[in-house]
Amino acid sequence: MAPTLAESATDSFDLTDFVINQGNGVKGLSDLGIKSLPIQYIQPQEALINIIPNESIPVIDMSNWENDPKIAESVCEAAERFGFFQLVNHGVPLEVLEGVEDATHGFFGLPAAVKRTYSKELSPSNSVRFGTSFSPDSEKALEWKDYLSLFYVSDDEANALWPPQCKDECLEYMKKAEILCKKLLTALMERLNIKEIDEKKESLLMGSRRINLNYYPRCPNPQLTVGVGRHSDVSSLTFLLQDEIGGLYVRVNEGKGDEDGWVHVPPIKGSLVINVGDALQILSNGRYRSVEHCVIASGSKNRISIPVFVNPKPTDVIGPLPELLAAGEKPKYKNILYSDYVKHFFRKAHDGKKTVEFAEV
């Protein structure tokens, strides 16, 4: 039986066992109606961010993409300057977005005992993992987030192993996002004078995919914790669907003259938030920027978000693209096996932009 509130306030309540081992997650804690944040979730002061109210990341309308080259230009400029932008009229149908949102609520609404069967300990495959926080074994303070992470290997594998409550919707969203991804990557490569995405480049840029379903339940003291700590993604590009609650913040003006701080990414119905990940920063030799972001939980509502991470293949060696070096650029990054890079990211707590130092020359 779930512990009572009185029990949860005492040492007799084993939070790790309840949240992690039993599969209740932070959703389980929130559903208990706890009135204050357990100490394990209190983040150190430096995790808290300075919010800049009057700035924003670009919102780009893609409806005239085929005919108006200025749209591709805005995408490339946003990828260089902010590393983040929102897209509207991007071609992924609203029903597909709504379908995967409903499926996400369906999955997290399952009993803990069912979700737990997808945990690292019990899941029959490394491609499917239900968990809570990012890296609980290495974090000083936990994050207020549960997730399901699905690595795509094949349709057959997904059909056999992904949870039936969400597999069709996840596959559909991932596939539609891929069409959009090709368009964006073609434009981003053209800007680097790379006219053709051959097989090798296609693998480096979009050889693997992972879809995460993130659940951030209502939090009793959202200002003391984080939904996701500051990090950059290790993908090439991330396609993030967020619901109407809000809470995603992106770092702006880092190392520039203007005020360094964080801007909110306001939810826009039907839009997708796109961001550059470390792999594209490395491949483009720093031209496109993978930028820090974080999530602040809500004090009143449950929030979901669904990123599709488009990545190199785990077996690819990533480094600055040869065309850039042939044009005389000095490499800023070493060549590195992509799965080593990702393992390095997953084994430590979120730490801003530090992962990329692993690849710096």
Ligand X SMILES: O=C(O)CCC(=O)C(=O)O
Ligand Y SMILES: CC(C)(COP(=O)(O)OP(=O)(O)OC[C@H]1O[C@@H](n2cnc3c(N)ncnc32)[C@H](O)[C@@H]1OP(=O)(O)O)[C@@H](O)C(=O)NCCC(=O)NCCSC(=O)/C=C/c1ccc(O)cc1
Residues at the site binding ligand X, with contacts judged by CB under 6 A: 212, 214, 228, 233, 240, 242, 248, 293, 295, 305, 307
Q: How far is the CB of 233 from Fe ion (least distance, A)?
A: 4
293: left (phi over 0), alpha (psi -120 to 50) or beta: beta
Q: Write down how long the chain is.
A: 361
224 vs 296, beta carbon nearer ligand X: 296
Question: What is the rounded distance in angstroms from the CA atom of residue 132 to the CA atom of residue 145?
Answer: 6
Q: Which listed range, 121-129, 233-241, 242-250, 330-338, lies at the site for Fe ion (CB under 5 A)?
A: 233-241
Which partner from the list ligand Y, ligand X, Fe ion, none does 248 bind, CB cut-off 5 to 8 Å by kind? ligand X
Please report how close the Cβ of residue 154 comes to Fe ion at its closest, in angstroms. Answer: 25
| Residue 291 neighbours by CB under 8 Å, 6+ apart | 82, 83, 84, 232, 250, 251, 254, 275, 276
Residue 295, contacted partner among ligand X, Fe ion, ligand Y, none, CB below 5-8 A by kind: ligand X
| Coil/strand/helix, residue 86 | strand
Q: Which residues bind ligand Y (CB under 6 A)?
A: 120, 126, 129, 134, 149, 151, 208, 210, 212, 228, 231, 233-235, 277, 309, 311, 314, 338-339, 342-343, 346-347
How far apart CA 170 and CA 103 sit, in angstroms, is 8
Is 294:230 a contact under the CB 8 Å cutoff?
yes
Burial class (CB in 10 A: 0-12, 13-18, 19+), 129: middle
Q: Which does 298 bind (CB under 5 to 8 A by kind): Fe ion, ligand X, ligand Y, none?
A: none
Pick the closer one to ligand Y by CB: 210 or 287. 210
Helix crossing, 69-81 with 167-190: angle to 10°? Answer: 100
Selection from ligand X, ligand Y, Fe ion, none that 344 binds (CB < 5 to 8 A by kind) is none
Measured from the CB of residue 337, what is the shortest distance to ligand Y in angstroms? 9
Q: Footprint of Fe ion on this chain (CB under 5 A)?
A: 233
